[in-house]
Structure 1
Amino acid sequence: MATASSVSPGDVARQAMSAELLDAATEHALACRWRDERDEAALHRLVTAYMRLAISMAAKYRRYGAPMSDLIQEASVGLMKAASKFDPDRGVRFSTYAVWWIKASIQDYVMRNWSLVRTGSTSSQKSLFFNMRRVRARIEAELAHDGGEVTPADMRREIAEELGVPLRDVEMMEARLAGADFSLNAQQAGEDGREWVETLEDEAPRPDEVVTRRRDLGTARGWLNDAFTALTPRERMIIGARKLADEPETLESLGEKLGLSKERVRQLEAQALRKMRARLESAHGGAVGELAATL
């Protein structure tokens, strides 16, 4: 299947319009072959047949300023996700099922790229972003027809009730949509001409904090090594496998290696941790209270 990255949107649209139209029986057979046999030829035929649907839905989001080629690409991603999850035995046509996946994929892309600072990602924010203008226009048209007026506050309440979202989300989205993106590299008014980015606080740790943390980590590592040596070889093996490995082993797998039951391994692990905690507290007192508490 040609994608937006390899040909122009016009070429993709022409290819999609020339694709076959599947009847219900053929669609079901293709979906079954993909689900049961992972037949890629069947998947290709199924997806290609419904690219016209994906392109049609992508075209509805051009007003948000995203390139049509990118919208088609995201619609294709949604179509592929739908094909991978579709169950042909549920009695639903693939097009009905795919619509929701295509729409979700396109909307996620638009919200990620329209403005990283003006939009959000919750379900209520998503609903507002794509529907607030439509609902506002309808309410205004109804009021104009009836000769009524509504205050901005009343309008926001009407929108919140219509879309079933909190009023504060309507107020927040309204402010975000009304404002323009502001470059952090823009210069401030004044003689110094500093850029706004220079006023942002650096959230990285200060050099003295970095040095202190490294020193504390080195000290803690030494204390833990000392406590570790207080364990028997079997206890060290269990703690190493359970607490120090990148992928901790299960109690069951350790039990098989040691010829012990899963419960016995758990008891030995708890016993080893108590030993380490006691060693830390006796050797270093209150200074190691927080570290010992983690064991």
Structure 2
Amino acid sequence: MTKSNVKFINTLMNEPFLTREQELELARRWREMGDQRSLHALVRAYMRLVVSIAARFRNYGLPMSDLIQEGNVGLMLAAARFEPEREVRFSTYAVWWIRCTMQDYILRNWSIVRTSTTPSQKLLFFNLRRLRARIEGAWATEELSEEGRTKIAAELKVKPSLVEEMGLKLSKSDTSLNAPINDASDGELQDFLVDNQPNPEDIVIATRAAERRSQWLAEALDELSPRERGILSKRRLCEDGATLDELGREFHITRERVRQLEQRAMKKLRESMRKRVEQHTDLFVEA
């Protein structure tokens, strides 16, 4: 944090608190008359709350200045929504908004992977370390004990499995794939990621081979008679192939005759395809 930021924070911390009557008067003037000076005075008087709450969240690895900025947003939201007629202290009302905006900022920026989305996960995220330190002490091992998980789950009223899951998340940190493996090596973490997908060369080869087989099949089908080609197309080349009975009614022949024509057409097709390839394996796609 820069010297100017420190000086600014010290100035805020020295701002005097407002009395209950002063709070309500400023809030009424802002709400009823839109008095910008009253809003400014109300917000500035309680910016020390923002700094104080931000200090509680400094251990999450995010810049203190960013936390203060987010807290100021919460303070402004509180001022905009505060209702003086309820006769509640503005400072009490503002604390909730300040903490809420800071926690939302931390959840969005603590990791590039969304860490907590449900209320139970958020509750664990912001309370697990504190409760663990209280239950297991400052010398707790990296892995949370089963007894510790059970106690924390009971206190927060969540499942022990959620406690274990959040403990694993909080024990890890984001690491760049371009990070070196160690100081003695030029290798990066991404060098050890296995890609099971085909490379561009294999994709091009497979695409061209498929196009060639399609061309061979079209040429071989042209050598069949119209009836043979029709039976084979509707029987073998459709997703829902027609039955022998359906084809028999369409071509006005018996079911057995359709089967015979189909077998003859397949034999002709195979012989025609074999003439067009150098190796029989070229007709098949590798699994």
TM-score of Structure 1 vs Structure 2, range by shorter chain: 0.5 to 0.7
Give the C-alpha shift of residue 199 in structure 1: 3.7
Given the alignment, which residue of 169, 172, 188 partners 2:165?
172
Change (3 A) 1:55 1:163: same
Instruction: Give yes or no for contact 2:121–2:162 (8 Å, CA) kept in 1.
Output: yes
Normalised to the residue count of structure 1, the TM-score between the two structures is 0.57
1:59 is displaced (CA, Å) by 1.2
SS at match of 1:184: coil
Aligned residues: percent identity?
51
2:53 maps to 1:60: no
**Equivalent residue for 2:22, pick from 9, 22, 26:** 26
Residue 127 and residue 57 in structure 1: after superposition, are their counterparts in 2 closer, same or farther (change >3 A)?
same
- Whether the 8 Å CA contact 2:54–2:102 is kept in 1: the answer is yes
Residue in structure 1 matched with residue 112 of structure 2 by the alignment = 116
Once the two structures are superposed, what CA deviation does each residue of 1:193-217 show, in whole Å capped at 9, x if it has no partner?
Answer: 764678498xxxxxxxxxxxxxxxx
The residue type paired with residue 173 of structure 1 is: M
Secondary structure, in 3 states, of the residue corresponding to 2:88?
A: coil
Instruction: Give the distance between the partners of 1:84 and 1:18, measured in 2 at CA.
Output: 24
Q: Is the 1:186–1:195 Cα contact (8 Å) retained in structure 2?
A: no
My pick for the range that moved more, 117-126 or 37-46, is: 117-126
Structure 1 pair 136–20 and aligned structure 2 pair: CA distance change class (3 A): closer
Q: CA deviation at 1:81?
A: 0.8
Residues 47, 72 of structure 2: 8 Å contact kept: yes
> Which stretches in structure 2 are left out of the alignment for 5+ residues?
182-186, 198-287
Q: Which SS does the other structure have where 2:28 is aligned?
A: helix
Gap change, CA 1:196 and 1:11, over 3 Å in 2: farther
Question: Which residue of structure 1 aligns with residue 45 of structure 2?
Answer: 49
* Gaps in structure 1 of 5+ consecutive residues: 145-150, 202-295
Q: Helix, strand or coil: the match of 1:181? A: coil
For residues 96-153 of structure 1, the C-alpha deviation after alignment (integer angstroms, 9 at most, x for no partner) is 0111111111111122111122722322111111111111122225xx9xxxxxx822
- Residue 182 of structure 1 is matched in structure 2 by 175
> Secondary structure in 1 aligned to 2:17?
coil
CA distance in 2, matches of 1:199, 1:170: 33
Q: Give, as a single letter, the amino acid of the residue that structure 1 aligns with 2:102.
A: I
Cα separation, partners in 2 of 1:197 and 1:25, compared to 1, 3 Å: farther
Does structure 1 conserve the Cα–Cα contact (< 8 Å) formed by 2:50 and 2:98? yes
Aligned to 2:153: 160
Q: Could you tell me how far apart the structure 1 residues matched to 2:7 and 2:26 are?
A: 25
Q: How many residues align?
A: 191
Give the alignment's TM-score, normalised by structure 2: 0.58
Q: CA RMSD in A?
A: 3.3
Give the corresponding residue for 1:38.
34
